[in-house]
Amino acid sequence: MLNLFMGPVVAAVAEGTASSLMSTLPLILIMVVLMAVMIIPQRKRDKKVKEMLASLRPGDRVRTIGGIYGTITSVKDDYVVMQVGPDKIHLVFARGAISQIEEKGAENTMSESVVE
C-alpha cells in the first residue's frame, strides 16, 4: 500500500527538479558567457602590458601613467630612470608606471611648441 502512494510523489519530485534545472540553466549559461567576455580580453591586455614592461630598454621614448614623456636612460629590476625635458632632468619611476612606448618623441615636439 505504501508503494501506491510513493510512485506519484517520486514522479512529482523528479518533474519539479527537472523543471527547476531547466529554468536556471539559461541564467547559468548567461553568467558563463559574460565571464568569458569580460575575463578573456582583460587577460590579453595584461599579457601585452607585461610584455611591454619586460621589453623596456635604454633609449626607448615612453609615457608614464601620469602623462610624463621621456627617454629611458637606465632600467633596473623594479624601476627605470628617465631623462625628461630640454634640461635633461633625470627622474626615477617604478617600472609599472610606464604606460606605453612612444614611436615618436613627444617631449621634443612639446618643448618646441612651448618655446614658440
Instruction: Give tens-digit pLDDT for 35-94.
Output: 889 998 999 999 999 999 999 999 999 999 999 999 999 999 899 999 999 999 999 999
**Model confidence pLDDT, tens digit, residues 30-41:** 999 988 899 989
- Strand order of the sheet with strand 98-101? 89-94, 79-84, 69-75, 61-64, 98-101
Positive or negative, the Cα torsion across 110, 106, 76, 66?
positive
Whether domain 56-115 has CATH 1.10.10.350: the reply is: no
Domain regions of the chain by residue span:
1-55, 56-115
pLDDT at residue 99, as a whole number: 93
Give the pLDDT band (50/70/90) at residue 7. low
